[in-house]
Structure formats: structure tokens, C-alpha cells
């Protein structure tokens, strides 16, 4: 595609119908902001420049856009006086524009790069001064109608408030995405007036000007008109979000991913899945999550910005910024917090929480444990109920456990502490000092019994009654009947 292309994205309006402190185009759909989706489509056309028109909350919106397209040109529309005024502001922000100018709105998250590329190609092939990306819809209420003559030539676009009853019956609508010859647009913008019901400068009035000048105007209906649907409130946002997810999940199934229940499976736009991945019901894969081939995720699992290796299984787990190695096993009911790294064939089991923890190849934390700020060596097994006490009330400290260590149930590691290769701990041990390789750390003293404690200290309770009954039923220690 030729590179003399400028894409203008309109993002100045406040979106009051969203009833939100967040600017409309910054609301997320499928893991990206709405304007993020539009910018992604725009960049697929390989433009020479992208101009974003900002206004309301310009600092937040502008910074967000620059994070996606660093060399974007930001044009500030101080007053929102209509699309014609917004494009005039955008054109004034660039020194010189030639070739083709495409204008898109920042609230159409279903728009794809393929559709935008095709539209630009059709516009250039037609040598039109203006081209409209149009669509035919069942209910055109609130949308600008494309007016054609009997020969089918485009005459103009009329907005809903300015349309006659007959014009309101027209089902071909303006999507708001337009392409212009740059020279014509530069000449036409000052001629656009605001003599209409809303008192705004409509960019679509340039179509009538092109007709007056004897220039060609084209309208190119898009088959998938939902790509051009804008979002104005939260109900539309939810509906568009569900449709985007349906499209993403369907595309992955066609690419070789098994999805048991598409209705309860959510996959963000930037997620990457390997061949023969299986997603079970209730799975949410968010952000930049990557899942390797043959992995099984779910049911009831949410992973955000995680990496899951080939052949791994993650069941009923919540994870964020975590890495799960090939053929590793996670869950059920595990919580992987940022900084968790589980090695190849490793295990993080039921009711285990991890944070900033590097768990080596083949190492296992099977049950009921908290592992924070820790390194666990290859092949080590951590006993049930183990706590890595990493916080002293002021600072976090790290625990390091060597390879092939075996720790007993209910061990507490009071960081900072190191446990050597092949070492172990007894059940209930509190480890406060380093443990040498191959040593067994035991902190509990010998067991002792205080006889009759329940009957003396808990008289009248069920505990005491049960103890008294058991003592009465047991034979005396020197009863000959107990001897062989």
C-alpha cells in the first residue's frame, strides 16, 4: 500500500452517556481500550502519519494514545464543534498532507485492519474525492443516511435530525469512516458551515461540496457492518465486548484450539494460544497471556499476562504475571501472584499462594502453603501447610531452599534463611537459621503429657465427660487380662 496516507482518529468527545469518570475511548473491550483497537486497525494500513484529535481529558487520552503509537501527532480540539471542526484541527496540526486522508472514530473497537486496508484500496482505485465506508442496517435510527440518485450515485449524507421522513427510511448508513483526497479535503474544510439542527460543522457536508465541484463521491458498503458500530453507553459496551469475544474465540477454534464452552470462555485480543490447547468452561485469558501447545486451562481459571508452557495443566486458578513451565501442574484453587515462576514438571497444588517465587524444575508445593519471596530448588518437595514468613514488619526478605530437599508439614521458614541441598525439616519446625546440606532441622521439643488435664481444667464439659468415660472403660495397666 502506498505510504502517502494520513489516518485521523477522532477522540475528543467526552462520552457523557457512559456516565463514567473514564473517557469513553479509554474503556476496555477485549483487553484493549476502544481507541487501542482503532489504532491497531489504523497501523495495519501502514500510514505515513497518524493524527489523534483529543479534547476532554486530553492529558490522559493523549498519553494513552502515545503509549500505543509513539510518533502520533496529537491535535487538541478545545471546543467540540463537530467532526468537520475536529478534522480542520487535525489538518492544521500537520505541516503538509498529500495523498489520502482517512478519518475514523475512536469508539469502533470491532474495526479490523483488513477492512480498513480494503477501504483505502477501493477509495484509491475509484479516484474519488470522497469515499464513504457505508453499511446497510435493519435499524438506522440515529445514524446519518447515504443519499443516492436514481442512478445510484452518492449525493450526500443527511444526519438523523436533519432528515425528512422519507430519508429516515433509508437503510444505508454512514459509518463515520471516510476517505478523502488530501488536496480536496484541504480546500473543502473552510467551506463547511454549521447551518444545521445541532449547529455543528459536519465533515459529511464535504460530500455535497464534492458534488458541487463535479468530483466523484463513492460509497463502499462493508459486509460486516458491525465493525463500524460505535459505543455510546455501557450497555453497548457489553454487547460489543461479547461480540468481540465471540469472534476471537471462534477464530482460535478454527486455528486448532478446543473450547468446551465458548459462552463462558473469554479470551483477550492479545492472547496467544498454541495448537491443541484446551480451554474448559469458565476460563478467562486476559492481557498478553501466552499458552503453549497441548496445555489444558480450566475450568474456572483466570490468567492475566501469564505464560503457560506446553502440556501444562492449570485448574481453578487465578494467576497474574506468572510463568508456568512445560508439563507443570497447577491447582485447584491456587493463587499465582506476580513474580511466580514454576519450572518444568513442577507442581503448585491446592490452596497454595505464591508471590515472587522461583520454584525449580520438578519441585512441588502440593497443599495449603504460602510461598513468598522464595527460591525452591529442583526436585524439592514442600510439606503441607508450609509458610514462608517473608515480612518482618518493615522489609521483605528471601528464603532459598536447595535441590531435592524434603520439608515436613507445617514448617515455617523465617526469612532470610537458606536450606541446603538434600536437607529436610521435621513437622512443625520453625526454621530461623540456615540449614546445612543433608541436615535435618527440628525445632520442637520432646512430647510430654499432663495426665488428667481435661477432667481437672474442663470439668462438666463434653471433653471432660468423654475423657472420664474412656478412662473408666480402659483396663488397669497391670491387669493380667492384658498379658498374653
Helices (H), 127-195: 165-168, 182-188
pLDDT of residue 81: 93
**3-class state of residue 32 by DSSP:** strand
- The whole-model pTM stands at 0.89
Phi, psi of 409 (to 5 degrees): -60, 150
Pairwise CA distance, residues 408 & 390, whole Å: 19
Nearest-angstrom CA–CA distance, 284 and 271: 10
Position of cell 521435621? Answer: 426
Please identify which of the residues 27, 367, 397, 404 carries the catalytic annotation: 367
Architecture of the domain made up of 5-228? Alpha-Beta Complex (3.90)
- The secondary structure of the chain in percent helix, strand, coil, rounded to multiples of 5, reads 25, 30, 45
pLDDT in tens, the chain (484 residues): 456 999 999 999 888 999 999 999 999 999 999 999 999 999 999 999 999 999 999 999 999 999 999 999 999 999 989 999 999 999 999 977 889 999 999 999 999 999 999 999 999 999 999 999 999 999 999 888 999 988 888 888 888 888 999 999 999 998 989 999 999 999 999 999 998 888 999 998 999 999 999 999 999 999 999 999 999 999 999 999 999 999 999 999 999 999 999 999 999 999 999 999 999 999 999 999 999 999 999 999 999 999 999 999 999 999 999 999 999 999 999 999 999 999 999 999 999 999 999 999 999 999 999 999 999 999 999 999 999 999 999 999 999 999 999 999 999 999 999 999 999 999 999 999 999 999 999 998 888 889 999 999 999 999 999 999 999 988 766 655 555 5
**Kindly report the CA angle at 314 between 313 and 317, in degrees rounded to 5?**
170
Q: Which helix (H) or strand (E) holds 301?
A: none
* Cβ contact 346:330 at 8 Å: no
3-state secondary structure (DSSP) of residue 196:
coil
Cβ burial, residue 416 (10 Å; 0-12/13-18/19+): middle
CB atoms within 10 A of CB 290: 17
Predicted local distance difference test score (pLDDT) of residue 481: 52
Cα dihedral 22/25/27/30 (nearest 10): -170
Each domain of the chain, given as residue ranges in start order, spans 5-228, 256-441
Q: Who's near 424: CB < 8 A, 6+ residues apart?
A: 405, 406, 407, 408, 439, 440, 441
Cα(8)–Cα(85) distance, integer angstroms: 13
Burial label for 205, CB within 10 Å (0-12, 13-18, 19+), is: buried
Give 172's strand partners. 136
The span from the CA of 263 to the CA of 410, in Å, is 41
pLDDT at 479: 55
Residues near 353 by Cβ (< 8 Å), separated by ≥ 6? 334, 335, 337, 369, 370, 371, 372
Q: CATH assignment of 256-441?
A: 2.160.10.10
Residue with cell 490522559: 60
367 in catalytic set: yes
Residues facing 53 on adjacent strands: 10, 75
Q: How much is the pLDDT for 370?
A: 98
Structural contact between residues 82 and 198, judged by C-beta atoms closer than 8 angstroms: yes
How far apart CA 88 and CA 25 sit, in angstroms, is 21
Amino acid at each position: 500500500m502506498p505510504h502517502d496516507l494520513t489516518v485521523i482518529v477522532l477522540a475528543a468527545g467526552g462520552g457523557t452517556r457512559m456516565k463514567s469518570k473514564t473517557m469513553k475511548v479509554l474503556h476496555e473491550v477485549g483487553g484493549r481500550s476502544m481507541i487501542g483497537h482503532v489504532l491497531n486497525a489504523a497501523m495495519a494500513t501502514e500510514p505515513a502519519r497518524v493524527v489523534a484529535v483529543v479534547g476532554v481529558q486530553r492529558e490522559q487520552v493523549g498519553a494513552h494514545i502515545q503509549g500505543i503509537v509513539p510518533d502520533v501527532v496529537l491535535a487538541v480540539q478545545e471546543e467540540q464543534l463537530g467532526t468537520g471542526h475536529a478534522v480542520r484541527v487535525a489538518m492544521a496540526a500537520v505541516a503538509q498532507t498529500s495523498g489520502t486522508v482517512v478519518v475514523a472514530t475512536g469508539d469502533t473497537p470491532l474495526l479490523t485492519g483488513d477492512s480498513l486496508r480494503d477501504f483505502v484500496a477501493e477509495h484509491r482505485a475509484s479516484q474519488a474525492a470522497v469515499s464513504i465506508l457505508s453499511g446497510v442496517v435493519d435499524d438506522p435510527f440515529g445514524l446519518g443516511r447515504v443519499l443516492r440518485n436514481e442512478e445510484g450515485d452518492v449525493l450526500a449524507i443527511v444526519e438523523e435530525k436533519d432528515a425528512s421522513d422519507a430519508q429516515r427510511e433509508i437503510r444505508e448508513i454512514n459509518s463515520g469512516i471516510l476517505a478523502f483526497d488530501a488536496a480536496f479535503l484541504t480546500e473543502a474544510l473552510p467551506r463547511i458551515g454549521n447551518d444545521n439542527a445541532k449547529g455543528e460543522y459536519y465533515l459529511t457536508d464535504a460530500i455535497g461540496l464534492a458534488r458541487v465541484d463535479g468530483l466523484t463521491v463513492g460509497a463502499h458498503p462493508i459486509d460486516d457492518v458491525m465493525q463500524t458500530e460505535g459505543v455510546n453507553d455501557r450497555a453497548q459496551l457489553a454487547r460489543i465486548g461479547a461480540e468481540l469475544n465471540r469472534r476471537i474465540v471462534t477464530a482460535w477454534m478454527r486455528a486448532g484450539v478446543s473450547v468446551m464452552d465458548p459462552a463462558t470462555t473469554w479470551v483477550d485480543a492479545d492472547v496467544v494460544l498454541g495448537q491443541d490447547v484446551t480451554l474448559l468452561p469458565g476460563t478467562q485469558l486476559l492481557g498478553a497471556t501466552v499458552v503453549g501447545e497441548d496445555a489444558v486451562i480450566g475450568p474456572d481459571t483466570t490468567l492475566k499476562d501469564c505464560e503457560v508452557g506446553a502440556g501444562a495443566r492449570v485448574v481453578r486458578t487465578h494467576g497474574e504475571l506468572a510463568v508456568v513451565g512445560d508439563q507443570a501442574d497447577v491447582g485447584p484453587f491456587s493463587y499465582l501472584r506476580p513474580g511466580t515462576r514454576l519450572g518444568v514438571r513442577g507442581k503448585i497444588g491446592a490452596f497454595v499462594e505464591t508471590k515472587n517465587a522461583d520454584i525449580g524444575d520438578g519441585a512441588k508445593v502440593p497443599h495449603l502453603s504460602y510461598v513468598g519471596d522464595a527460591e525452591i530448588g529442583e526436585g524439592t518437595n514442600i510439606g503441607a501447610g508450609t509458610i514462608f514468613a517473608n515480612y518482618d514488619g518493615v522489609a521483605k526478605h528471601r528464603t532459598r531452599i536447595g535441590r531435592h530437599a524434603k520439608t515436613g508439614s507445617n514448617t515455617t521458614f523465617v526469612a532470610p534463611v537458606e536450606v541446603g541441598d538434600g536437607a529436610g525439616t521435621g513437622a512443625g519446625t520453625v526454621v530461623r537459621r540456615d540449614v546445612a546440606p543433608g541436615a535435618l532441622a527440628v525445632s520442637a521439643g520432646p512430647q510430654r503429657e499432663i495426665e488428667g488435664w481435661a477432667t481437672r481444667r474442663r470439668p462438666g464439659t463434653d471433653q471432660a465427660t468423654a475423657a472420664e468415660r474412656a478412662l473408666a472403660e480402659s483396663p488397669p495397666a497391670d491387669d493380667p487380662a492384658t498379658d498374653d
